[in-house]
Amino acid sequence: MSDFIAEDHWTQRADGVRLSVYRKRLATAAPDAPVFMLVHGSSFGGKNGFDLQVPGKPGYSFMEEFARRGFDVWTFDFEGYGRSQRTSGYSGFDTAVADTDAAMEVVTRITGQRRVAFYGSSSGAIRAALYAEAKPDRVARLVLDAFVWTGWQAPTLIARRRSIAKWRNANTRPIDRAFFQTIFNRDHPGTSEEGVADALAVAELADGDTVPNGTYLDMCSILPVNDPAKIRCPVLILRGEHDGIATERDLLEFYEKLGTTDRHFAVLPGMAHVSYLGLNRAIFHHAVHAFLTAPARVDDQA
């Protein structure tokens, strides 16, 4: 018998677009275990990335790791990703709040919890931050990993802008096994383990061979989309040492403008863009867990 309970759920936006929602927790989890919502990035869906099973190499499921640490862990697929409905839309930042809110309706209906911890990776961090700005009563703590604010001098975005005409001419882009290798190899060699990219490719390609272009295009053309002053909950910003999606200066300027003094910034050594699937992911797990379990302030300024 598995130590974990996994559940598939469905929800839909007000316009009828159906979205896949996924939950994983320990079989022995308390009914009121704190909810932790994970928000995926531009190139693969929530379940496939956050609950990745790598043959012969245990310990790559972000969801299982934090379920073991006492959390009720959730994720979902944005429009056009994973098992969510594939439409003619491009699934950009303009639908981020609506998609996330639809997923949160499922979380609240099932767990009774309205205000929960959020984690976002890459464009998922931008989308999680947008949700914290729009729905501050729903986000208790916010982890922004591989985040980008303005895109100033970010090597990955500079390279992508060379293909901006291509992103504008189609709402989706093809993905294949070779593409997943580039995610792990583009920034710095040696930050990931052999077999991880292949396992992710197998999981994601089982759901389809395209992903939407929206966040690729938006990150190259309309940044910044976030207003840090509107984020009032505790925030942790994480940057992999070798991540090419954002410069440290860009992130520190965002950090300084946050609307909270409960803010934390960490550079994760030996990591690139997808820290939770990296070789040094134990450092990432420690940083996130310490933030999520930090005591709340008790003075009258809280």
**pLDDT of the chain along its 302 residues, tens only?**
589 999 999 999 999 999 999 999 999 999 999 999 999 999 999 999 999 999 999 999 999 999 999 999 999 999 999 999 999 999 999 999 999 999 999 999 999 999 999 999 999 999 999 999 999 999 999 999 999 999 999 999 999 999 999 889 999 999 999 999 999 999 998 999 999 999 999 999 999 999 999 999 999 999 999 999 999 999 999 999 999 999 999 999 999 999 999 999 999 999 999 999 999 999 999 999 999 999 988 887 65
What pLDDT does residue 167 have?
83
Contacts of 211 (CB under 8 A, 6+ apart): 42, 43, 44, 80, 81, 172, 173, 175
| Residue 51, domain extent | 4-292
- Whole-number Å distance between alpha carbons of 51 and 21: 13
Q: Answer whether residue 161 is part of any domain.
A: yes
Q: Answer whether residue 230 is part of any domain.
A: yes
Q: Answer whether residue 297 is part of any domain.
A: no
What pLDDT does residue 172 have?
96
What pLDDT does residue 302 have?
57
Q: Which of 62, 48, 63, 61 is nearest to 211 (CA)?
A: 48
- How many domains, the chain? 1
Q: Is 81 helix (H, G, I), strand (E, B) or coil?
A: coil
pLDDT tens readout for residues 137-147: 999 999 999 99
What pLDDT does residue 1 have?
56
Q: Answer whether residue 299 is part of any domain.
A: no
Q: Answer whether residue 199 is part of any domain.
A: yes
Q: Answer whether residue 126 is part of any domain.
A: yes
Q: For the domain that residue 48 is a member of, what is the CATH number?
A: 3.40.50.1820
Q: Answer whether residue 261 is part of any domain.
A: yes
Q: What angle do CA 160, 165, 168 make, to 5 degrees?
A: 100
Please give the backbone phi and psi of residue 60, each rounded to the nearest 5 degrees, phi first: -100, -5
Contacts of 296 (CB under 8 A, 6+ apart): 302
Q: Answer whether residue 302 is part of any domain.
A: no
Helix axes 96-111, 123-134, angle to 10 degrees: 70
Q: Is 158 helix (H, G, I), strand (E, B) or coil?
A: helix
Q: Model's pTM, two decimal places?
A: 0.98
